[in-house]
Chains A and B, each alone.
Chain A
Amino acid sequence: MNRRQFIREVFLWSAGTTLAIPRFTILPEAMAAEKPPALLSVAKGTEYTALVARVLQPLGGMGQFVRPGDRVVVKPNIGWDRSPEQAANTHPQVVAAVVAQALQAGAKRVLVFDRTCNEQRRCYANSGIERAILDLKDSRAMIEHIDQRKFVPMQIAQGKSLTQWEIYKDSLDCDCYINLPVAKHHGLSRLTLGLKNSMGVIGGNRGKLHHDLGQSLADLATVIRPKLTIIDATRILLNNGPQGGDLKDVRRLDTLIASADPVAADAYATTLFDLAPDAIESTVAAHRMGLGEMALDRIKVLEA
């Protein structure tokens, strides 16, 4: 067998194998190619409405993410029956400002929701978010309670730990999904940031994700893909998270982080807690799957 013959044989045999077992997985390299540039914006300030506008400026403003006529979903953390100063939920002023920005950018509809851990109505009311949205007095801005009928079973083709789960229809069927988590402590995952916030759009027995939380969150991130992640670190919860309750555990930072790269946003936010990005399993797992950048030296931080 000469070299030419050998190559032909290999080509034929491997082509045959490829035909017999069709594979449509996207390779990590290909995914890396389509990933957004790791630009990240940080802003500090005590006037949160203005702060939201400022943090978006270096990224090109909200118009970069929301086109006129878009159906937008803003997904804050409304998980707990806690007040804004207890830092368990996204700050209501931040949520309202993000919604207002999206409306200004010409969104046809901005929907706000979360699958809460405590009773829904109490969370929506006591987080202050329901009031804040209603006070915008814009019929295009809607805050809705979870409708169980809208959870649709979804294949997670690239999932390693999670291959199928029920996901809230509106979070998939929209033109722009904005992830708006609050940065805080969490017993199991150490911190809950952007990727963890996606647990608020899934149905079923969510506690099961905890069995392999880091990888599960990365798997979810392959299907729940925010165009924009804004991490609320206006005040952060350092202990007894994710719901806190003791103001001694809260630290005021007056900071917002924004990025189109969900992994970069989480990686940077981790440093606010004096931790390295690789302390958070979900960040590591998502980076490994090519979903974004976690190396701080490869993230371009724009201070606004």
Chain B
Amino acid sequence: MRKPGLLLSPSAWRTIGQSLFFLLFLVLFIKTDYAGVDELTWAVNLLFRIDPFLALAAMLAAKTVIALMLPALLTLLLTLLFGRFFCGWVCPMGALIDSSRRLFGRTNTLIPEPGRRQLKYYLLFFLLAAALFGLPLAGYLDPFSLLVRGFTFAVQPGLDHAATTLFTWTYQQAPPWVNAVTEPVYALLKRLVLPFSDKVYALSVFSLLLLLTVLGLSWVERRFFCRKVCPLGALLALVARFSLLRLSGGSAECGQCRQCRSVCPMAAIDETRAIAAAECTLCLDCQTHCPRSRFHYGWRRNGSGKQTTDLSRRAMVASLAAGALAPLALSTRPHARQAEPLLIRPPGALAEKEFLGLCVRCGECMKVCIGNALHAAWLEAGLEGVFTPRLIGRIGYCEYSCTLCGQVCPTGAIRKLHKPEKQAVVIGRAHFDKNRCLPFASGIPCIVCEEHCPTPDKAIKFREVEVDNSKGERVKVRQPYVLDHLCIGCGICEHKCPLSGASAVLVTSAGESRHADLNIRDGY
């Protein structure tokens, strides 16, 4: 079964490879954070930049070549040479699906059937056509986007909360000798894996459920997501059909032995033991389990391993047409005329239409946001805007001198800005709710907002006035107001407003510098 001299089985080597790449993914994920200097020193968004599906979708949407995404070409070239190794060896989602199989998978001995594996191709065609014609949805189903969103919004903050709860309990209740052990452990965890500060995220549970659904689909059949849904897998499969190197070996002569077919997670081996190069992820399980060691990986031979992808021309045209026609409906929504005023985009975000086209919903900007200000939008930007970043001032604010979101954006949907540039970008403007603001509403001194306003010439100023306070006394208070030409909409005033519940300062997207025209179309 095993080649002499090879200590580990081929499958074991694959598992090691998968683990290493998963580890790399985790390191990049954790490194997606402020590290003491303004510029990130790691290419933390690398994973997204080698994703040819997102690259293609973003480039089609922008109708231009995005230099940042060119590493994705390498993935395609390697796939053309080696086949769909990416799915079996590199993809961290694949690694997670494989490793969680014991939780979700069923142990049936039936030989897996190809089923409707064409679905992923139609989905790919639909998504690419839709991207080209103005409905960018690629990020919804991209495996990396799904994974990073789940980890950013729910997994890491959840672990942090659990750890903090535990170590707060030991810190407060346990005797010193216990703390002598637990405190260094906590410090180490904080340094290595937990976020610096506790964070909350909009759509956290939803994102976690989506991630769990992808993993849970293994219950239906092994690697269900990779076989039938994953649009990245579909793109790689289209290329892998023509790969120069591939697995082959079995034949009809193998008789009743169907070992290879029953272990193949992708159902890529048919009755004649021919391996569909498009489906095979080179997991090498067949090689490991073949009692006669018939499988080998090598140059493609003419006539061997021919398998069609069973694509129907009619369905293909239909999915392309659906993608091309679906965007027509978009212009009928109120969004087309009036942007949602509470939708505040990160500094450096392109004008809304271009922004949506390029944003791949990877969640990197929200992961790196030092102020926990960026959150996943729900329907504020329309159906195609779910998971795009928006600033929620009450939860967090945009740190005046921080430029991290533009640094991690893999497609340039958020431009990389230098500090002075960023400090001049207007993402919205603040205004006061005088019914709640204390110096107005009850004659109580406050102006915490003015204290925190970061522009060197403060955008929030105050007037000293005499008013009757809520006790009926005549008092002097300082009442704040906003100077529009100085306000950049960072939201620190909204965030730090000491009122409980809703803030007395609100930031809206009014006046944002990226597209002044959209808000006032068809005005007076």
Contact = CB atoms under 8 A, between A and B. Distances in A.
Given A188-B447, A205-B498, A246-B457, A121 B171 contact: no
A187 B450 contact: yes
Interface in B161-208: 167-168, 171-172, 196-197
Interface stretch (A65-73, A98-106, A236-244, A257-265): A236-244
A119 B498 contact: no
A100 to B, nearest CB: 23
Interface stretch (B216-224, B359-367, B397-405): B397-405
Interface in A103-138: 117-122, 125-126
Contacts of A212: 445
B420 to A, nearest CB: 12
Given A187-B462, A245-B455, A122 B438 contact: no
A186 interface: yes
Between B402, B444, B445, the greatest number of chain A beta carbons within 10 A of the residue's beta carbon is seen for B445
Interface string A142-185: 00010001000000000000000000000000000000000000
B303 to A, nearest CB: 62
B371 A210 contact: no
B115 interface: no
Interface residues of B, number: 35
Given A121-B196, A187-B478, A243 B454 contact: yes
Contacts of A210: 445-448, 451, 498
Nearest to B499: A207
Interface residues of A, number: 29
Interface string B327-346: 00000000000000000000
A246 B37 contact: no
Interface string A43-71: 00000000000000000000000000000
B370 interface: yes
A245 B445 CA distance: 24
B-side interface mostly: loop
Contacts of A244: 456
B401 A149 contact: no
Contacts of A211: 438, 444-446
Contacts of B196: 120-121, 145
Contacts of A118: 399-400, 454
B496 interface: yes
A159 to B, nearest CB: 18
B127 interface: no
A189 to B, nearest CB: 9
Contacts, number: 81
B42 to A, nearest CB: 16
Given A210-B498, A244-B456, A246-B457, A122 B399 contact: yes
Contact of B402 (A122, A206, A207): A122
B514 interface: no
Given A122-B401, A210-B445, A117 B452 contact: yes
Contact of A122 (B370, B445, B450): B370
Interface in B33-49: 34, 36-37
Contact of B399 (A119, A188, A213): A119
Interface string B355-399: 000000000000000110000000000000000000000000001
A198 to B, nearest CB: 16
A58 to B, nearest CB: 35
Interface in B429-458: 438, 444-448, 450-452, 454-458
A188 B445 contact: yes
A98 B196 CA distance: 28
Given A119-B370, A207-B498, A210-B446, A125 B452 contact: no
A4 interface: no
A42 B171 CA distance: 43
Contact of A213 (B371, B445, B450): B445
A208 B402 CA distance: 27
A152 to B, nearest CB: 10
A141 to B, nearest CB: 18
Contacts of A232: none
B438 A240 contact: no
A249 B172 CA distance: 45
Contacts of B399: 81, 118-119, 122
Contact of A208 (B172, B197, B498): B498
A126 B399 CA distance: 13
B403 to A, nearest CB: 12
Contacts of B371: 119
Nearest to B172: A149
A246 B456 contact: yes
A136 B434 CA distance: 50
B497 interface: yes
B457 A125 contact: no
Contacts of B496: 117, 207
B172 A187 contact: no
8 contacts: A117-B451, A119-B402, A121-B34, A121-B196, A122-B34, A122-B401, A149-B172, A210-B445
Given A117-B496, A187-B462, 18 more contacts: A118-B454, A119-B370, A119-B399, A120-B196, A121-B370, A122-B399, A122-B401, A125-B37, A145-B196, A205-B498, A205-B500, A210-B447, A210-B498, A213-B445, A240-B456, A243-B451, A244-B456, A245-B454
Please provide the 6 A-B residue pairs with the shortest distance between their CB atoms, ordered closest to farther: A207-B498, A245-B456, A246-B456, A207-B448, A187-B450, A210-B446
Interface of A: 81, 117-122, 125-126, 145, 149, 186-188, 205-208, 210-213, 240, 242-246, 249
